[in-house]
Structure 1
Amino acid sequence: MTRLFDFLSAILGLVLLSPGLLLIAALIWLVDGRPVFYRQVRVGRGGRPFRIWKFRTMVVDADRIGRPLTVSGDPRVTRTGAWLRRWKIDELPQLINVVTGDMGFVGPRPEVPRFVALYTETQRRVLDLRPGITDLASIAYRNESDLLEGHEDPEAHYIGTILPDKIRINLDYAAKAGVWRNLKVILATLGLLAPERV
């Protein structure tokens, strides 16, 4: 039921948003150059790798010239990218990932292989879940870049504190997930509903 809802909603979303998506793609191309999209490898359900779709918000080869995390004020973020990130518009192309079945609307945000390799046996249970565009953890850590900025080693803080808490939130949520509850998470992500306490 959830997969059917995600598939049909993603198709509808791509159709309705296509004029805006084309406009954003053209803006990135004109202001920041090519490529328009960023295709990073993430780890999905069952530990299967896939490439996530995003509008490019950083300079080309940003992952080769800096850490895998983005903190506030990161100089690798482009002018257009800063605006796209602020409003989470860079995530909209992930509707393609929803259509292909790599992701759903609601589920744990998929991590890069580098971080997944550090999961404990208990934490690896999160890989039993289909990753999503949004989740309660993303809402709770919507200001993650700001939280990381104040740390001498942002990556160590992310791995040691933020990531385990995100996994905890997602495993707790999965035990009671359903279409209606997922819809409430989507509305909370859009700012149309108060998020659940985590």
Structure 2
Amino acid sequence: MRRLYLKQLLLLLGDVALLYATLTLALTFRRFSLPSWDVWQAHAILFTAIYAVWLVSFYSVGLYDLAKIWPQRSLAATFINTLAFNTLVAAAFFYFAKGRFTLLSPQTILLLNVALFGIAWYAWRVVFSRLIAAQAFLRPLAYVGSIPSSLEMFDTIRANPQLGYRLALIGSFHTRSVAPDDHDVLRITNPAGLVPAILRHNIKTVVMHFPDDTHHAFREALYQALAQRFVFIDSTAFSEMVTGKVHVSAIGQAWFLHNLTEGSKRLYELFKRAFDIAGSFVLAVISLPFIPLILLAIKTTSPGPAFFTQWRIGQNGRKFLAMKFRTMYIDAERHGPQWAQKNDPRATRVGRFLRKMRVDEIPQLINILRGEMSFVGPRPERVEFVQELTKDIPYYQERHLVKPGLTGWAQINFPYGASKADALEKLQYDLYYIKNRSLILDLTILLKTIKVVMQGSGQ
């Protein structure tokens, strides 16, 4: 995972370098000569504030998500739309800043900078995507032991070279069940030949999966090779690292005892609670002018109250009344609780818009202030659904170890759940969040939630 972050950092630093390089070119083209140090410094100081906003917005819309770096038309469209919006914001900033914070009026420089940076950004993304996908830059990987029932980990490695790994060897008695058409993967079925093959192919990283004694001979071979200084990684931990979720089928009660050290999270919980309170007040003040308009739109387009409350399950299984703006017709569930779905027929015209923009959840700021919810956490589910899912999905109740949130790791990585299978998938993301939650991860989730709001992809 650290290698992945380093690649993202390299991509970010490349963008920073390009921003200032294209600013220099813009000043040169504008004046037909290289700018003096004083001129460059004056513009660089002013543009730095703009660039900071740009980089945050680029991150929030997924432009540093290596899984989507290139080639994707949607990525280029996202960049163009975001850059256009940022240009308008920057132009407005320069207009109001002139005479107040600066004497400069660099609108022409801004337009030149944007045009040059757009071209440079495209070229940098093409070069970077080819570099990280090059075989020479991929770390060869050996997988040793029982083949898991889910091959998602292998599929993820093959489909995402930006992770930095290449499956080079499988040591197991049952290798034919994995990628039978992948001739680049060496298959070792004799434990005696395992370590020599790993050394011969210069493999340093070994992922292991020994749930029982079926492959004890392979395990013994690795044990005898401790002096070779291989990097040994448990398959559950590696799968979690590359997929961003914890596979329920691969864990047991011991996993929770080993990984959920709640006592070490106390300082984090204090900071998170302080952020929840401060953030709720700030968002409430920002939202206040829009609330009367929302209430009016709801009341004039469909009969019924403007607010909607519903019992949800919170931390440690406690029930609470979640508040929302009403988005559905009255008696929409007269036949019983239903899963929300894409293009939900129960939603009103105004309700569909509120859902897409996530505006319907503004009243939940009250739930956050009460301490019933947080900004980031697993989605709070309805009582009826929780009772049903707890019976059918192992460890489903463990998602209630933390406060539910307005947004979360599962919400930004998986579409709105509309079935038990979807609930299982989202649980696996929730368990990843519960194990790895931190202020940095929370900030990452909040920034990526901005993309959901900007694109209107809520449901």
* Cα-to-partner distance string for 1:44-88 (whole Å, 9 max, x where unaligned): 001011111111111012222454212234332111111111222
Aligned residue type for 2:312: R
After superposition, residues 25-174 of structure 1 pair within 5 angstroms as 25-65=295-335, 67-117=337-387, 118-119=389-390, 120=393, 122-142=395-415, 144=416, 148=418, 158-159=419-420, 161-174=421-434
- 3-state DSSP class of the match of 2:289? helix
Q: Residues 74 and 65 from structure 1, CA distance in 2 versus in 1: closer, same or farther, beyond 3 angstroms?
A: farther
What is the rounded CA distance, in whole Å, between the counterparts of 2:279 and 2:344 in structure 1? Answer: 34
CA distance in 2, matches of 1:74, 1:162: 17
- What is the CA distance between 1:132 and its match in structure 2? 0.2
Question: d(CA) in 2 for partners of 1:190 and 1:73?
Answer: 21
- Aligned pair in 2 of structure 1 residues 122, 74: CA closer, same or farther (>3 Å)? closer
Q: 3-state DSSP class of the match of 2:451?
A: coil
| Partner secondary structure for residue 13 of structure 1 | helix
Unmatched tracts of structure 1, length 5 or more = 149-157, 193-198
Structure ranking higher in helix proportion: 2
Higher mean alpha-carbon deviation, 118-127 vs 96-105, is at: 118-127
* Partner amino acid, structure 2, of 1:185: I
SS of the aligned residue for 1:42 comes to strand
Task: Give the 5 Å matches for 1:11-26.
Answer: 11-26=281-296
Secondary structure of 2:312's counterpart equals strand
Deviations 1:146-172 (A, max 9, x none): xx5xxxxxxxxx11x110111111111
SS in 2 for 1:52: strand
Provide the rounded CA distance (Å) in 2 between the counterparts of 1:177 and 1:93.
25
Q: Which residue of 1 aligns with 2:160?
A: none
- Give the 3-state SS of the residue equivalent to 1:77 in structure 2: coil
CA distance in 2, matches of 1:67, 1:43: 15
Contact map agreement 2:375 2:406 (CA 8 A) in 1: yes
SS of the equivalent of 1:53 reads strand
Give 1:130 deviation, angstroms.
0.4
For 1:135, give the aligned amino acid: G
| Identical amino acids, percent of aligned pairs | 35
Give the TM-score normalised by structure 2: 0.37
SS in 2 for 1:62: coil
SS at match of 1:19: coil
1:127 corresponds to which letter in structure 2? H
Cα distance in 1 between the residues matched to 2:398 and 2:288: 36
Q: Secondary structure at the match of 1:181?
A: helix
Give the count of matched residue pairs. Answer: 179
Q: Which runs of 4+ in 1 moved over 3 A?
A: none
Structure 2, unpaired ranges of 5+: 1-270, 453-459
Q: CA RMSD in A?
A: 1.8
Q: What residue number does 2:442 align with? A: 182
CA distance in 2, matches of 1:93, 1:37: 8
Q: CA deviation at 1:121?
A: 5.4
Displacement of 1:111: 0.7
Letter in 1 for 2:400: L
- The 5 A counterparts of 1:5-16 are 5-16=275-286
**Bigger CA radius of gyration:** 2
The answer on whether the counterparts of 2:303 and 2:330 sit within 8 Å (CA) in structure 1 is no
Which has the bigger relative contact order, CA under 8 A and spacing at least 6? 1
